[in-house]
Amino acid sequence: MSEVPSPLQGNRACALAAIAAGCRFFAGYPITPSSEIAETMSRELPKVGGVFIQMEDEIASLGAAIGASFGGVKAMTATSGPGFSLMQEHIGYAAMTETPCVIVDVMRGGPSTGMPTRPSQGDLMQARWGTHGDHPVVALTPASVEEIYSETIRAFALAERLRTPVLVLFDEVIAHLLEPATLPAPGSIVAAERQWAAGDEIDFAPFRETDDLVPPMARPGDGLRAHVTGLTHGPDGFPTQQPAPAGNAVQRLLDKIERHRTEIERFETIAIDDAEFVIVAVGIVARAARRAVAELREAGVKAGLLRPITLWPFPEAALRQAAARARRVVVAEMNAGQLALEVERLTGGPVKAARLNRIDGEPIAPAEIVARIRELAADA
């Protein structure tokens, strides 16, 4: 490992990690507060033989990335809330066609144009339910510059391994944060590679069910024909509306992610074993929660933190286990209560789960979390 001698910005860490992971195609459209990712890729990708394209909008950006991926290249795009909304149809298309790609969403205040330069965590549920239909979702939520680097690399590994789009979500504060980061030594990263199909062209089925539910992908030029469509399709790739193959096709997409949950799921816990008050938070709010836990513990209040690093699929078992021992679960987030909906679903409703929200473009401070837990402790 080698420590970066000067502070590294979150967005730049994301771009450098993508290149280290083997990304060689980036298509994007400038949008605050993610623009430094595109700017860095425009400078650094050509140095390693990659291609950067500024597209006309976010719809075209993800479309180009999907096309590049099906052409055999690791591909990424980056955006913020309004652009993320525009990408939803193509995210569903990437899930249905099982196209590996990475989509970075740097969250800002909304709705609509909202507050372009202010932080938010308002896209958590859009990441899970933004597209129509039933679809698998993998979304990672780093909380530091160093973690942006490692989780971006992991995003590419999961995308290639599972043939699925992978989302990386972080708020504007983390994106523009400058802090020292310890990164892997140059050349030490072993980039994940997708499984390429081989065999008889006549019998090839591009979406056949395999033991791990991840069909190998046809490499362009190898002679294996793959019919690719966003329509519900059978193992041969051709559209079908027959109930059995149509249902099997969608169910396999869902089962594929669930089958590999232990590989996908990642979370952090702090002082959780005896916690009477469990804080659930991501991103910059989780960093505030760490300080709050330390202050509360010093004051004799048994607080702990559960931080999802993989947001979707959500670490359900870890939350249920922590909540079973706790008096209350406090969900702190920079939105009107999106993550709280999931926590309430898993813990039995608002009787167990309490909320702490901000929607004014300011991050939640440690003192606010401490005050909220003191309030709950006094009411108990």
Second CATH level (architecture) for the domain 267-379: 3-Layer(aba) Sandwich (3.40)
Residue-wise pLDDT tens digits, 310-345: 999 999 999 999 999 999 999 999 999 999 999 999
Long-range contacts: 290-298, Cβ < 8 Å, 24+? 291/366, 292/366, 292/367, 292/369, 292/370, 292/373, 295/366, 295/370, 296/370, 296/373, 297/271
DSSP string for residues in 339-377: HHHHHHHHHTSTTTEEEEE--SS-PPPHHHHHHHHHHHH
Higher pLDDT among residues 174 and 201, named by residue: 174
- Using only C-alpha atoms, the chain has a radius of gyration, in whole angstroms, of 21
Cα gap 155→26, rounded to integer Å: 15
Percent of all residues in the chain with a pLDDT value above 70, rounded to a whole number: 98
- Indicate the pLDDT class of residue 284, thresholds 50, 70 and 90: very high
Contact in structure between 176 and 11 (CB atoms under 8 Å)? yes
Residue-wise pLDDT tens digits, 86-135: 999 999 999 999 999 999 999 999 999 999 999 999 999 999 999 999 99
Tokens 């594929």, residue located = 256
Tell the CATH superfamily of the 2-183 domain. Thiamin diphosphate (ThDP)-binding fold, Pyr/PP domains (3.40.50.970)
Res 157 pLDDT > 90: yes
Instruction: Tell me where in the chain the CATH 3.40.50.920 domain(s) lie.
Output: 267-379
Comparing C-alpha atoms, which of 309, 307, 308, 301 is closest to residue 327?
A: 301
Instruction: Tell me where in the chain the CATH 3.40.50.970 domain(s) lie.
Output: 2-183
Cα gap 195→162, rounded to integer Å: 9
Helix (H, G, I), strand (E, B) or coil at 178: strand
**pTM exceeds 0.75:** yes
Res 4 pLDDT > 60: no
Res 222 pLDDT > 60: yes
Res 5 pLDDT > 80: no
